[in-house]
Structure 1
Amino acid sequence: MESICSKSKSHFKKLCMVTLLKKVEIFQQMDGQVLKAISKRLKPMNFNAKQYILKEKKPLNMMFFVVRGAVLIKSVSAMDANVKKTCELGSFYGEELVHWVTTWVSHQTFPTKLPLSPDSALCPYHGGSVEILALKSDDLKSVLSDFTLPTDSDQPLDWLTTLKNVERLETMGVEVLKKICGYLELRTYEDAYIIQKDKPIEMMFFIMSGVVSVTDGSSKHYYRNEGGCPNHSGDDLIEHWLKSKSTSVPAKLPTSPFSFWAIGEVEVLVLKSDDLAKVQPGDQIR
């Protein structure tokens, strides 16, 4: 009887762990067997008041779920540095790590360095100890490497085709697109802003490799190269370009409603506003 009860408790615990994982959007898209394997790697950890769980700008070596107490999330360098958040029972922090791992898991080797934590996570000065369930980076890599098959995301991309992923450029004449291609350049960002919220959009970019977090201050999403179809940002720059070419007075650059942050190392294909301004749309827009 005791053995049956023990098995029942173990099964219930696994179900609870999987339910906890499903609070994270990216885990909701994963197969049940993968989630069960990940749930077995969750490790309980305890921290006392004033102890850091993660430090800002230090390697993001885990994501975690709060199972007792509350965790303070704060940042010195972020744009909302004065805003402090709290992770309470059932909340999680560090999902950037999961997006980063799933982006690189189909490659032969992971980047040598982990992405950096964008914030600090610590136990408040008052409020007692905190218990978390931690998912370490090495454990996550190990599980996903066992279950994930290689994709074609490393196939070389034709830059002309890449430009046509932008709706306003899709029907533009080939000669104009070729001229724009001549100004495209590859850049690498590492744990840094690519574009900041409320700042002028001085370029548009296409993600060649890596993952980018996108936030408006209240919600967060993640962009990556989706199977050879690069996510992009800065479409408003195209509208600005077309408008400035059709009027005698150049329009002011639009401002970005989002911040784009490179998680770890990210390679992007960049088109700067100054270079785009040198191209004439002409009469080739069909």
Structure 2
Amino acid sequence: MAFLGIFEFAKFRFNSYHFQIDFKSNFFMQYEGVLRKMQTEIGNPIQYYMVFENDFLNVNQVLGKALEINFIKFQCLNCGNDRPIFRQGFCKTCFYEIPSAGDWIMRPELSTAHLDKEDRDLEYEKKVQLQPHIVYLANSSNIKVGVTRKTQIPTRWIDQGAHEAIEIVEVPNRYLAGITEVALKDHIGDKTNWRKMLTNNVEDENLVEWRNKLKQYIPEEAQAYYIADNTETNLEFPVLKYPEKVKSLNLTKTPNYKGILKGIKGQYFIFEDNTVFNVRSNEGYYISLQIS
């Protein structure tokens, strides 16, 4: 075994994966790149993918393995510069300038493209706002109302960690969806308790009954778009063990972390020591990820 005494490490690349062998320990994989929202694929359970510039990882395949996360720098998802991330993966300058971070993103009732009125970039706003949108009920920690583009169903529900969801109305633009959500928020919540969602301290609800009960509160402009005959969708997440309590990993305070991955729910990693890591809220963070 003199060969191993001389060459203790070997690195190589095969397809999209970076591999390293430490001959004194075990084989491991390493990835490096800027964090973005995990891509998902419906299934039983849901499949999760981390997508980097030249690599991708099916996260389900590393459940039960040790993940080491190292924060290297910031990389704004718009300009690419190493500037502190302000919100939604963007630096402060980009957040206040680019059309994809306008106020109507978080508050769809502020949408104005249907009036041919520009916020930051009318062409972009027409492309996003003037397409079918869904107002829905989702149960992740409790029942909540939400809005998303039709093309984002069921992705939006998965990202929120909802184990069941149902569509209420399908409208032709974001504005109508927004005013419907505002009206329904007077009678049902619009927030998720992420701690409750991650500990799986949730109860099943009859979403068809809730949908029918809320129908009377839909604004007149959206009443014609009410969906009266659909059923709820149920979602299964890849979790080996739910934590009893959760502690959130903050990469700016803890730039290096290692733990055993026990589950994925919403956009969260769940680790054996009850640490949870929200990939979505850390978009724009450039990291290295080692799996062993």
Q: Same fold (TM over 0.5)?
A: no
Q: Report the TM-score when normalising by structure 2.
A: 0.26
Q: Report the TM-score when normalising by structure 1.
A: 0.26
Q: Which has the higher strand share?
A: 2
